[in-house]
């Protein structure tokens, strides 16, 4: 994230990847890219860093750096996901965490959790036992919600 001030392009469409925790630690001060209208971000995230507070702060940072966005697409890329951490994230993420996104901004926030380790079906059911709100199929959980008209979030 500290390299953003080095970008000199004035293109209205901007895409970049970053380390989620890096932005939270080192947001560029007094730096904006007001010419960006269409923003696509692909942050790598350790699931342990992904909390309600960190998500709210991440959104705040993005809106400060890119104050004039009209379209926003964020695809979180979890590092070393597990069913337990991924399901825990689904339970934490709620529309109010994204309330600072202006109504004029359209887009989508996504995260797909593909675990490298296939848990047994028994372990999956044990994890979600009595709390299967987001379970849609064997080894699959899904949560989607509307942030506002034209802006949604989906986590699977």
Question: DSSP secondary-structure letter at 37?
Answer: -
Q: Is residue 48 part of a domain?
A: yes
CA 119 to chain centroid, in Å, comes to 24
Pairing relation of β-strands 71-79 and 106-111? parallel
The total number of structural domains in the chain stands at 1
State residue 6's pLDDT score. Answer: 47
State residue 49's pLDDT score. Answer: 81
DSSP codes joined into one string, 134-145 = TEEETTEE-EEE
State residue 107's pLDDT score. Answer: 94
Q: Is residue 13 part of a domain?
A: yes
State residue 13's pLDDT score. Answer: 72
Q: Is residue 95 part of a domain?
A: yes
State residue 122's pLDDT score. Answer: 66
Single out the residue of 72, 45, 44 nearest to residue 59, CA to CA: 72
End-to-end CA distance of the chain: give it in Å, rounded: 26
State residue 88's pLDDT score. Answer: 72
Residue range(s) defining the domain that contains residue 150? 7-155
* Per-residue pLDDT of the chain in tens (156 residues, 90 and over written 9): 445 544 556 767 766 667 777 766 776 677 788 888 999 988 888 878 888 888 888 898 889 888 999 999 988 887 777 767 777 777 778 888 888 999 999 999 888 776 555 555 566 666 666 665 666 555 566 778 899 999 998 877
Q: Is residue 1 part of a domain?
A: no
Q: Is residue 2 part of a domain?
A: no
């Amino acid at each position: 994230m500290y390299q953003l001030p080095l970008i000199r392009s004035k293109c209205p469409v901007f895409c970049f990847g970053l380390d989620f925790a890096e932005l939270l630690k080192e947001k560029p001060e007094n730096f904006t890219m007001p010419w960006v209208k269409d923003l696509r971000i692909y942050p790598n995230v350790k699931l342990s860093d992904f909390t309600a507070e960190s998500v709210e702060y991440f959104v705040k940072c993005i809106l400060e750096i890119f104050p004039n966005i009209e379209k926003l697409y964020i695809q979180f890329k979890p590092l070393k996901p597990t069913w337990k951490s991924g399901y825990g994230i689904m339970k934490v993420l709620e529309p109010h965490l994204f309330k600072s996104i202006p109504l004029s901004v359209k887009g989508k926030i996504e995260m797909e959790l593909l675990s490298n380790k296939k848990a047994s079906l028994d372990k999956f059911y044990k994890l979600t036992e009595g709390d299967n709100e987001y379970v849609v199929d064997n080894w699959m959980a899904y949560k989607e919600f509307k942030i506002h008209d034209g802006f949604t979030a989906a986590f699977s």
